[in-house]
């Protein structure tokens, strides 16, 4: 007969066994995913690309920045969730005279910053002055140039801001006078560089008109105006935005929180989506498109998108300052093969720089694949079969997609004797290299800020803060200048075509393909519509079974 332990020891042992059994049951039980938990709590988990560089609206420099900032701030006008047409935002209404040279905006009396302070017309005017401040160096300040004297103030030719066409005749009224009638003006106001910012919070954290002020980097100092406010930012992990109770239209907002998850790796983002950790991811590895098309076609999206994938060429560098070498680089590229063999998401090989149909515009179709012509140009430049040319660095930011595309380009250039070296950098490092001109060939992309060819072609004017190529052409600048001041659509488009033709012939850029937005969207996400600019106002989004 076995000897039993004293009864006093049985109770503790039974507790141990119960705990072990509980742990085993927990291990065997299915784990709740973030997607399932989000459905219960109305928390959207959104995968984005590289982590935003800044949440200051005036310093936004990428689409990822805009995705987050547009949840935290609002402009005078908002965007319709399906069409992105201008709708009332912080301004309840506006008036425009027949000549289109002035806009009068009437602010909502109940518009407030997230700290409860009312948003006044003076805040709006002061914000526009900050965005145009030369010392701030806002990368998209030129989007304010339709405003009377805004360009002169931004470039330091005008010191008195009162001469700029922005005034406040009343506590809740902002008047904006324009240099010329701009048919796309209201659409411009949805870009973050136009968003009012809380000068009282910015000044409390440092100098308002200089870079380096971290007011928007932590919940302790953050103040916004949008449907959500910053709750947490764990670098490299997640940006947490919670519903803003002070928002004027809080009753419309159904999501209680949005978690923005940054990913440098598109494959890691796709795995996280597959594991139920994300409701939406920003992009999809080309090699996974067919698998999703076969297994879950309802979750695979390939939306129309005003986006061009291209490479910038630093025309100030030796050898690349020769247009014949640049044109040879372009002629060697088989864009059709790139799209059909690698991407497979409905992308179209680029025939120019502006996507066809942008604002009703039909661009010139000049780009072609002609390796024999490329070899002839190299020989004419004194480099037959590429002899005498250095190995060019091909710079791209961390991403499997970007690396695969760079490898295809590398092979196609090798076929005509041009050698390249692939150089991978983190996104923030690449942005620094782009800004300082520390590159030879640079991976780039551009999504339109508004549905007009100017949103693409303005990039390469001499004074554009987005040029980065070192190339300029007075005839190109004149055509763009005249087009912006021409109301007749046919004449304006003819000027755009003339400018784009000069750009393509000079080849400071290598357009590769017109993009679609290929991504994954969970069926629980409602109110998310395909839009040409890939913007999705989150105040209209919800989660439902």
Whether residue 153 has pLDDT greater than 70: yes
Q: What is the mean pLDDT of residues 314-328?
A: 98
429: left (phi over 0), alpha (psi -120 to 50) or beta: alpha
pLDDT in tens, 110-122: 999 999 999 999 9
79-83, 105-109, 462-466: the lowest-pLDDT one: 462-466
* DSSP 8-state symbol, 171: T
Return the H-helix or E-strand segment holding 405.
Answer: helix 400-414
Q: What pLDDT shows up at residue 487? A: 83
183 band by pLDDT with thresholds 50, 70 and 90: confident
Instruction: Give 330-363 as a DSSP string.
Output: HHT--HHHIIIIII-SS-EE-SSSSPTTGGG---
CA 323 to CA 381: how far, in whole Å?
9
Cβ contacts of 510 within 8 Å, gap of 6 or more = 310, 311, 312, 313, 329, 330, 333, 441
Whether residue 6 has pLDDT greater than 90: no
Q: Is the CB of residue 256 less than 8 Å from the CB of residue 247? A: no
Whether residue 229 has pLDDT greater than 80: yes
529 band by pLDDT with thresholds 50, 70 and 90: very high
In the chain, where does the domain assigned CATH 3.10.105.10 lie?
305-517
- Higher model confidence: residue 485 or residue 46? 46
CA 177 to CA 185: how far, in whole Å?
11
Q: What pLDDT shows up at residue 30? A: 56
Whether residue 292 has pLDDT greater than 50: yes
In the chain, where does the domain assigned CATH 3.40.190.10 lie?
47-259+522-543
- By the 10 Å C-beta count (0-12 exposed, 13-18 middle, 19+ buried), 270 is classed as buried
Q: What is the mean pLDDT of residues 200-226?
A: 96
Burial 191-201 (b: 16+ CB within 10 A, else e): bbbbbbbbbeb
Q: What is the mean pLDDT of residues 66-91?
A: 97
pLDDT in tens, 36-61: 999 999 999 999 999 998 899 999 98
CA 332 to CA 375: how far, in whole Å?
8
CATH tag, 47-259+522-543: 3.40.190.10
Whether residue 418 has pLDDT greater than 60: yes
Q: What pLDDT shows up at residue 417? A: 97
pLDDT in tens, 348-366: 999 999 999 999 999 999 9
Whether residue 432 has pLDDT greater than 90: yes
Whether residue 483 has pLDDT greater than 50: yes
344 band by pLDDT with thresholds 50, 70 and 90: confident
Q: Is the CB of residue 457 less than 8 Å from the CB of residue 496? A: yes
**Look-up: residue for tokens 């009068």?**
104
Q: Is the CB of residue 268 less than 8 Å from the CB of residue 398? A: no
* DSSP 8-state symbol, 59: G
The answer to pTM > 0.75 is yes
Q: Percentage of the chain with pLDDT > 90?
A: 87
Q: What pLDDT shows up at residue 227? A: 98
- As a whole number of Å, the CA-based R_g of the chain is 26
12 band by pLDDT with thresholds 50, 70 and 90: very low
State the average pLDDT for the chain: 92
Q: What is the mean pLDDT of residues 93-104?
A: 96
Whether residue 11 has pLDDT greater than 70: no
Q: What pLDDT shows up at residue 54? A: 87
Q: Is the CB of residue 246 less than 8 Å from the CB of residue 238? A: no
* DSSP 8-state symbol, 533: T
Q: What is the mean pLDDT of residues 319-328?
A: 98
Q: Is the CB of residue 424 less than 8 Å from the CB of residue 403? A: yes
What are the φ/ψ torsions at residue 258 (nearest 5 degrees)?
Answer: -130, 130
For the chain, how many helices (H) and strands (E)? 17, 19
C-alpha dist (Å) from residue 503 to 321, 404, 498, 508: 14, 27, 9, 7
Whether residue 5 has pLDDT greater than 90: no
Cβ contacts of 541 within 8 Å, gap of 6 or more = 44, 254, 255, 525, 526, 527, 528
Whether residue 145 has pLDDT greater than 50: yes
- Higher model confidence: residue 333 or residue 27? 333
Whether residue 168 has pLDDT greater than 90: yes
Burial 124-157 (b: 16+ CB within 10 A, else e): bbbbbbbbbbeebebbbbbbbbbbbbbbbbbeee
341 band by pLDDT with thresholds 50, 70 and 90: confident
Q: What pLDDT shows up at residue 184? A: 87
Do the bridges between strand 392-397 and strand 441-447 make them parallel or antiparallel, or are there none, so unpaired?
Answer: parallel
Q: Mapping DSSP to helix (H, G, I), strand (E, B) and coil, where does residue 37 land?
A: helix
Whether residue 22 has pLDDT greater than 90: no
Q: Domain 305-517, what fold? A: Dipeptide-binding Protein; domain 3 (3.10.105)
* DSSP 8-state symbol, 96: -
CA 162 to CA 320: how far, in whole Å?
44
Give ∠ CA 333-336-337 in degrees, rounded to 5.
Answer: 80
């Amino acid at each position: 007969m076995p000897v039993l332990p004293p009864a006093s020891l049985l109770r503790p042992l039974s507790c141990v066994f119960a705990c072990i059994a509980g742990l085993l049951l927990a291990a065997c039980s299915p784990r709740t995913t973030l997607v399932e938990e989000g459905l219960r709590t109305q928390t959207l988990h959104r995968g984005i690309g590289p982590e935003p560089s800044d949440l200051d609206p005036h310093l936004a420099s990428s689409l990822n920045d805009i995705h987050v900032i547009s949840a935290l701030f609002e402009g005078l006008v908002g965007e319709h969730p399906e069409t992105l047409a201008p709708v009332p935002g912080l301004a309840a209404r506006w008036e425009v005279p027949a000549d289109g040279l002035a806009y009068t905006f009437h602010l909502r009396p109940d518009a407030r910053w997230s700290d409860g302070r009312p948003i006044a017309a003076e805040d709006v005017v002061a914000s526009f002055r900050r965005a145009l401040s030369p010392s701030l160096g806002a990368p998209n300040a030129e989007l304010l140039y339709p405003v009377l004297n805004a360009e002169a103030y931004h470039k330091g030719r005008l010191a008195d801001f009162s001469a700029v066409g922005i005034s406040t005749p009343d506590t809740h009224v902002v008047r904006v006078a324009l240099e010329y009638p701009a048919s796309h003006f209201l659409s411009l106001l949805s870009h973050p560089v136009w968003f009012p910012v809380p000068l009282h919070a910015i000044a409390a954290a440092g100098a308002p008109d200089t870079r380096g002020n971290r007011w928007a980097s932590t919940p302790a100092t953050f103040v916004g105006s949008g449907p959500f406010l910053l709750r947490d930012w764990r670098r490299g992990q997640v940006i947490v935005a919670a519903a803003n109770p002070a928002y004027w239209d809080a009753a419309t907002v159904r999501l209680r929180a949005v978690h923005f998850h940054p990913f440098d790796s598109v494959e890691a983002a796709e795995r996280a989506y597959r594991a139920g950790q994300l409701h939406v991811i920003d992009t999809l590895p080309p090699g996974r498109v067919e698998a999703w098309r076969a297994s879950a076609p309802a979750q695979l999206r390939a939306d129309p998108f005003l986006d061009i994938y291209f490479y910038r060429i630093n025309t100030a560098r030796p050898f690349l300052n020769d247009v014949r070498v640049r044109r040879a680089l372009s002629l060697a590229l088989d864009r059709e093969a790139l799209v059909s063999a690698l991407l497979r998401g409905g992308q179209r090989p680029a025939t120019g720089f502006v996507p066809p149909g942008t604002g009703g515009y039909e661009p010139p179709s000049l780009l072609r694949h002609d390796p024999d012509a490329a070899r002839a140009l190299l020989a004419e430049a004194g480099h037959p079969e590429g002899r005498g040319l250095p190995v060019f660095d091909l710079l791209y930011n961390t991403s499997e997609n970007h690396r695969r595309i760079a490898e295809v380009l590398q092979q196609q250039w090798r076929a005509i004797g041009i050698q390249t070296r692939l150089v991978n950098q983190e996104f923030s490092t690449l942005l620094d290299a782009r800004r300082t001109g520390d590159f030879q060939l640079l991976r780039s992309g551009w999504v339109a800020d508004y549905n007009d060819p100017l949103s693409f072609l303005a990039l390469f004017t001499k004074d554009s803060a987005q040029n980065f190529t070192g190339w300029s052409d007075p005839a190109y600048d004149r055509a763009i200048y005249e087009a912006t001041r021409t109301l007749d659509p046919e004449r304006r488009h003819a000027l755009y075509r003339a400018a784009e033709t000069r750009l393509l012939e000079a080849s400071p850029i290598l357009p590769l393909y017109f993009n679609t937005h290929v991504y994954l969207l969970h069926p629980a996400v409602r109110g998310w519509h395909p839009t040409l600019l890939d913007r999705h106002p989150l105040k209209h989004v919800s989660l439902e079974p």
